[in-house]
Amino acid sequence: MNYVAQNVGIPTRANCGVCHFWGGGGNNVKHGDLEKSLLEPTTDIDVHMGIDGEDMSCVDCHITEKHQIAGKLYALSSENKNRATCEHCHTNAPHTNELLNGHNLRVACQTCHIPIYAKVNSTKMWWDWSTAGRLDEDGKEIHENDADGNHNYLSIKGNFVYDDHVIPEYYWFNGIAGHHLITDIIDTVPVQMNSLDGSYLDKGINRRTDMPSKIWPVKVHRGKQVYDPVNKTLIQPKLWSPNVGDSAYWKDFDWNMASQAGMDYLGLPYSGEYDFVETEMYWPLNHMVSKKEETLKCVDCHTRNDGRLANLTDFYLPGRDRSKFLDGFGIIVILGALAGVTFHAILRRILRKKCFFQKESNQ
C-alpha cells in the first residue's frame, strides 16, 4: 500500500474507462457515447480526444480537486454541484457568427456538435425482460448473438436490440433530473426511470440551478421490466444465487419466486402477481463530439419535413412551424413590398416620359 500511495498518478482514459466504458454489463451498453473506442480514438470519433488532434484525456474536462471530479451535469444528478460544461473552456460565445452564439442561450452545444453517437461500437437500445426464461431442448440456457457479436437473447435477461450510428432524440433539460424509486406508484406508461427537468418556458429563474433549459441530445434506453400490477410498483427480483432452489431467477427461472424473495429482502410488499411494464431511461450525450464540418446544419432543424426537433412542439421554430398570423403578416409585407416597388417603377417611368416631352416642347 505504501508503494501504491507513492505512485498514484493522474487518471488515464483506461482508468476511467474500466468503469465508464463497460457500465451496464458490456462495452457501450449504457451510455452510447462512452466506450472502448475512446481509448485511442481518431478525431472522426471525438474531436477532443482524437490522438491525431488535441489528444485530450478525461480529466482535461472533468477537472478534479481533492478527489472531487467535476461532471455531475452528465450523471443525471438531482443536485446542483460539481458541474462541468462546454462553456468552462469555450465560453458562451465560441463562434465568430453571432447568430450561432445566440443559439447557445437555449440550445446545448452538444445538440449540434454530436449529430450521432455509438460511432464505432453499437449500444443497447432495448431490453425486454418479459422474454427471459426460454431454455433449449436439454434445459440449458440459450445465448444468441447478432452479426456484430452483441447479445440478441439471453435466457437470464431476455431480448436485446443494439444499434450504431444512432441519431439522438432531443429534449429540454436544465441539468436537474428526477428518479423513479421502487416505492413510487406507477401512474404513467412507459415508466420514466429518470425524468429530465426542463421546458421551453423554463428560463432558469427561482430554481436550484440558474441554468435555463436547453435542447439536449439524448440516448433513450427502452425496455420492459417486471412489476406488481396490484400494488402498481416495480419489483426488485432476486436474480443470483450459487444454488438451484434458492428462489434466484438466474437459477430457477421462476418470476414469482424471484419477486417474492427480492421484495422480502427489501422489506417491501408483493401481491403475489407480476407482469411486465414498458420503461424508459434518458442519458444526455456529451462525448463523441464531431468535427465542425460534420455538425448539424440549419436545415436539419429548420425544416417542415422530419427535422431533428420534430418532437419538441412547445415553441415556435422558424422554418418548421406555421402561424396563420405570422404567415399572413409576412404575405402582406411581401405583397406590400412588391406593390410598392411596382408602383415606384411605374411612377418613375411616367415621370420620366413627362419630363422628356416637356423638354422636347421647350426646345
Strand partners, 166: 117
What single string gives the DSSP state of each residue in 91-154?
-S--SS-HHHHHHTTTB-HHHHH-S-B--SS-EEEEEEGGGTT-B-TTS-B-EEE-TTS-EEEE
User: Is 224 contained in some domain?
Assistant: yes
Q: Determine the longest span between alpha carbons in the chain, in angstroms.
A: 121
Dihedral in degrees, nearest 10, Cα atoms 206, 210, 211, 212: 30
User: Is 188 contained in some domain?
Assistant: yes
DSSP single-letter state for residue 304: S
Cβ pair 19, 11 in contact under 8 A? no
Give the pLDDT band (50/70/90) at residue 207.
Answer: low
Q: Report the amino acid identity of residue 34.
A: L
φ, ψ of residue 69 in degrees (nearest 5): -95, 125
H-helix or E-strand spanning residue 90? helix 87-90
User: Is 149 contained in some domain?
Assistant: yes
Output the pTM of the full model: 0.85
Looking at every residue in the chain, the average pLDDT score rounds to 91
Q: Write out pLDDT tens, residues 308-361.
A: 999 999 999 999 998 788 778 888 999 999 999 998 888 887 877 666 556 556
DSSP single-letter state for residue 273: -
Q: Write out pLDDT tens, residues 62-99.
A: 988 887 888 765 445 556 567 788 988 999 899 999 99
User: Is 255 contained in some domain?
Assistant: no
Residue 353: alpha-carbon gap to chain centroid: 67
User: Is 155 contained in some domain?
Assistant: yes
**Is 17's pLDDT higher than 90?**
yes
**pLDDT score, position 18:** 92
For the purposes of burial, counting CB atoms within 10 Å of the CB of 249, is it exposed (0-12), middle (13-18) or buried (19 or more)? buried
Instruction: Write out the residue range of the structural domain in which residue 13 sits.
Output: 2-89+105-235+274-296
User: Is 134 contained in some domain?
Assistant: yes
Q: Exposed e or buried b for every residue in 250-287, given b needs 16+ CB within 10 A?
A: bbbbbbebbbbbbbeeeebebeeebebbebbbbbbbbb
User: Is 215 contained in some domain?
Assistant: yes
- Count of domains observed in the chain: 1
Q: Which of 21-30, 168-177, 255-264, 326-335 has the highest mean pLDDT?
A: 255-264
User: Is 262 contained in some domain?
Assistant: no
Hey, is 45 helix, strand or coil?
A: coil
